[in-house]
Amino acid sequence: MNAPVDDRAISQAANLLKNAQHAVVLTGAGISTPSEIPDFRSAGSGLWTKNDPMRVASLTAFRRRPIDFFDWLQPLARQAYYAKPNPAHLGLAQLEKAGCLKAVITQNIDDLHHKAGSQNVIEIHGSMRTLECLHCHTQYFLEQFAQSFIEKAEPPRCPACSSFLKPGITLYEEMLPAAAWNAAQEHCEECDLILVVGSSLETVPAGHLPVFALENNAHLIINTFSATPLDLEADLVFRQDVVEFIPELVKRAL
């Protein structure tokens, strides 16, 4: 449920953004739920309330139970493949194009920031845009398997060696992609403002990124329905729907 819009607070947020020299945004599942991408932890609707992540979304599951893994992944992959960016994604792309954001750091794997036109997108949990063969290390684009996997739910296999292809997302039991994590950490350590959108900051280590910013005395603005561990540290906290708040922030900042 949306809280009443505080006109003065939104103006204050816009001013902080306009005056920032190095602003970044960290996005979580809440920015994509309006695009009909399910989140993972919401009571009743979250993916982890319906499935044991270690059974369906771990590296062990992929290696030992690939059919179970792909049965779980295919509906999510199909939703992400056809999903369209919403006004919050588009608004952040506008801010980046205008020079107000240096980077879009995301926990999401749905590719919607790229679809929205953001350029410097740091995907700390990887993306479903690509697939890799762990046997011969050949990489492919998901687009090549749109008909077989997305439409017909046939598990993708490597055309070269017939091994199952692993999506380019970070599974349980895997480390985060080092290059993406290092880039995200560097931005957060250098920034003077970080905007958190649609993240409860409960996922580790992603939830620690705003702490790096706070240690550098950066301003923190949070826009998410749920409480976060850093609410009391934030300059401003907004409980508005992201598709309402972000466009209004963009309008006032630009």
pLDDT in tens, 15-30: 999 999 999 999 999 9
Q: What's the pTM value of the predicted model, to 2 decimals?
A: 0.93
Higher per-residue pLDDT: 49 or 210: 210
Nearest partner of 245 among 11, 68, 58, judged by Cα:
11
Q: State the average pLDDT over residues 178-206.
A: 97
Query: Residue 42: what pLDDT?
Result: 45
Residue 51: pLDDT band (50, 70, 90) is low
Whether 125 is catalytic is: yes
List the beta bridge partners of residue 126.
169
- Express each pLDDT in 87-104 by its tens digit: 999 999 999 999 999 999
Mean pLDDT of the chain: 92
Dihedrals phi, psi of 58, to nearest 5 degrees: -110, 165
Cα maximum dimension of the chain = 60
Strand partners for 195: 25, 221
Q: Indicate the Cα dihedral angle 111, 112, 116, 120, nearest 10°.
A: -50
How many C-beta atoms surround the C-beta of residue 208 within 10 A?
Answer: 14
Q: Over 60: is that where the pLDDT of 43 sits?
A: no
C-alpha span between 64 and 35 (Å, rounded): 32
Catalytic residue among 125, 135, 137, 219: 125
To which residue do tokens 């996005």 refer? Answer: 27
- Residue 39's pLDDT is what? 73
181-206 average pLDDT score: 97
Q: What digits encode the pLDDT tens for the residues 55-86? A: 788 999 999 999 999 999 999 999 999 999 99
